[in-house]
């Protein structure tokens, strides 16, 4: 019996990647949930919209399905944004203060904060935003960091996929055990049908002559043919083999397993509709419940 592939991937996951350089620091947060296809949504600060096409290309190389949201937070390096002192402006300000105090002896000395607040004493940091080379370096570093974030997300999805694969393999074992039980239950169908037909006729015996044993056997045979579940059992075994093969294949099997689960359901429903023996009805209902649990897990696979 093949084991689930290590390449199975979930569609749910989360990753964060931090970076800094070129006067800024940033954080990427990427998360994904189930989706029919691949839906990428970006939240980027103003001025970085131009890199979105390249980011989409990176994500599409690592992911195939899922609703993926990527949020970028950027802040400037405070040390790089610190203003600098203009010595000439400070000397001019101090000379002016000394002149004023010479004319007004009782005037209080200004605080250092007040002196620094005078126009020109502190020089604003250079506007790196106007330097295209710096901007290009920033964009490149942010894009490289996004690639690392997407790779971490893909790894998280594979780890979750491995867990789901183990759950699905165990659920297939449960389904197979129920199918084998259904085979044994199906063997009691003719006797159950005969009992039901006999009970139905017993209430008519006072009004209708009793059917010959041979005719009764013919009626039971007709009902048994209509209630024969061997085809459903055979198809369920075939679906089990195919499901295990897909789990062993691993990559991008979620949609195919989802379609296969519909076939499982179809056979289980037919089996229940044909059931005459109470034991087969009970097994069929348990089978439908196990298939539904299998389907719920399959919905998470890429």
What total number of domains does the chain contain? 3
pLDDT for res 128: 46
- For 66: left if phi > 0, alpha if psi spans -120 to 50, otherwise beta; the answer is left
pLDDT for res 194: 57
Site of tokens 């689960």: 261
pLDDT for res 120: 80
Whether 283 and 166 map to the same domain: the answer is yes
List average pLDDT for each run of 10 residues in the chain, which is 302 residues long.
84 96 94 95 93 96 96 80 76 79 78 80 61 89 96 96 96 96 77 58 53 57 61 93 94 94 95 83 95 96 95
Residue 238: which CATH number?
Answer: 1.20.140
CA atoms within a 13 Å half-sphere pointing along the CA-CB vector of 130 = 3
Q: Say what angle helices 230-249 and 254-274 make with each other, to 10 degrees.
A: 160
Whether 204 and 142 map to the same domain: the answer is no
d(CA 138, CA 142) in angstroms, rounded, equals 6
pLDDT for res 80: 52
Of 32, 291, 12, the C-alpha closest to 177 is: 291
**Contact of 80 with 52, CB cutoff 8 Å:** no
Range of the domain at 141: 13-79+130-157
CA 40, 42, 46: angle at the middle one, nearest 5? 155
Whether 108 and 73 map to the same domain: the answer is no
Whether 205 and 163 map to the same domain: the answer is yes
Whether 60 and 148 map to the same domain: the answer is yes
């Amino acid at each position: 019996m093949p084991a689930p592939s290590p390449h199975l991937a979930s569609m749910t996951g989360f990753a964060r990647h931090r970076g800094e350089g070129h006067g800024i620091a940033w954080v990427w947060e990427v998360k994904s949930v189930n989706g029919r296809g691949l839906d990428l949504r970006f939240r980027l600060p103003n001025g970085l919209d131009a890199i979105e096409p390249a980011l989409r290309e990176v994500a599409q190389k690592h992911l195939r399905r899922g609703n993926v949201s990527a949020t970028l937070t950027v802040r400037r390096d405070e040390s790089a944004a610190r203003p600098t002192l203009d010595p000439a402006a400070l000397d001019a300000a101090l000379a002016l203060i000394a002149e004023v105090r010479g004319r007004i002896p009782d005037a209080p000395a200004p605080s250092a904060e007040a002196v620094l607040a005078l126009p020109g004493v502190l020089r604003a940091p250079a506007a790196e935003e106007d330097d295209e080379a710096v901007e290009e370096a920033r964009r490149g570093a942010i894009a490289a960091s996004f690639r690392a974030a997407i790779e971490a997300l893909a790894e998280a999805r594979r780890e979750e996929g491995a867990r789901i694969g183990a759950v699905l393999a165990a659920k297939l074992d449960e389904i197979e055990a129920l199918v084998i039980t259904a085979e044994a239950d199906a063997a009691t169908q003719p006797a159950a049908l005969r009992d039901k037909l006999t009970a139905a006729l017993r209430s008519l015996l006072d009004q209708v002559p009793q059917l010959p044993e041979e005719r009764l056997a013919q009626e039971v045979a007709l009902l048994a043919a209509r209630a024969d579940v061997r085809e459903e059992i055979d198809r369920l075994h075939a679906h089990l083999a195919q499901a295990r093969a897909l789990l062993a294949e691993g990559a991008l099997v979620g949609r195919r397993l989802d379609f296969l689960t519909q076939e499982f359901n179809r056979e289980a429903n037919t089996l229940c509709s044909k059931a005459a023996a109470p034991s087969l009805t009970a097994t069929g209902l348990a089978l439908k419940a196990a298939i539904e649990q299998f389907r719920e897990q399959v919905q998470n696979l890429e």
